[in-house]
C-alpha cells in the first residue's frame, strides 16, 4: 500500500473559478477526513466520511464547498466560485474505524492558490 494520495499536488486558479481535488485513502480504511491548513496554522477540520456517508461538516465548510465519497473509496472536494481566502493546503487523511486508537494517516496535500 502506498498510503494516502492526493491529486493534484498544486492548483493555481483565478478567483471565481471552480476547482476539484481528489483523495485516495488507504484501501482498507473506511473513514476519510478533509482538513485545511493555512500558512502558520495547524490543520482545521472540514468534513469526514464513514464509507460513503458524510458524518460531520465543520462551520468552515461554506455553501461553496462540497465533498463526496460516492462509493466509499476515493473522495472529491469541490470549491465553487473560489475566493482568495480559499488559498490554503487541503489535506486528506484516512483511518480504520476499528484501528489503533484514532491513528489518521495523512496525504501530501493539495496546495491551492487563488489569484
Interacting residue ranges for another protein, rule: CB under 8 A = 4, 31, 33, 35, 40-45, 48, 56, 58, 91, 93, 95-97, 99, 101-109
Rounded to a whole number of angstroms, the minimum distance from the CB of residue 34 to another protein is 9
What DSSP string describes 8-24?
A: -SEEEE-TT--EEEEEE
How many helices (H) and strands (E) are present in the chain, helices listed first?
0, 11
Rounded to a whole number of angstroms, the minimum distance from the CB of residue 8 to another protein is 15
Which C-beta is closer to another protein: that of 75 or that of 109?
109
Rounded to a whole number of angstroms, the minimum distance from the CB of residue 40 to another protein is 7
Are 112 and 39 within 8 A, CB to CB? no
- Determine the length of the chain: 115
Amino acid at each position: 500500500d502506498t498510503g494516502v494520495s492526493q491529486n493534484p499536488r498544486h492548483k493555481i486558479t483565478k478567483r471565481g473559478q471552480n476547482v476539484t481535488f481528489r483523495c485516495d485513502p488507504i484501501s482498507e480504511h473506511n473513514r476519510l477526513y478533509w482538513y485545511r491548513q493555512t500558512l502558520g496554522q495547524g490543520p482545521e477540520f472540514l468534513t469526514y466520511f464513514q464509507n460513503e456517508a458524510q458524518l460531520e461538516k465543520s462551520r468552515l465548510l461554506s455553501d461553496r464547498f462540497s465533498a463526496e465519497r460516492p462509493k466509499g473509496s476515493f473522495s472529491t472536494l469541490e470549491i465553487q466560485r473560489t475566493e482568495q481566502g480559499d488559498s490554503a493546503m487541503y489535506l486528506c487523511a484516512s483511518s480504520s474505524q476499528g484501528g489503533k486508537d484514532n491513528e489518521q494517516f495523512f496525504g501530501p496535500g493539495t496546495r491551492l492558490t487563488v489569484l
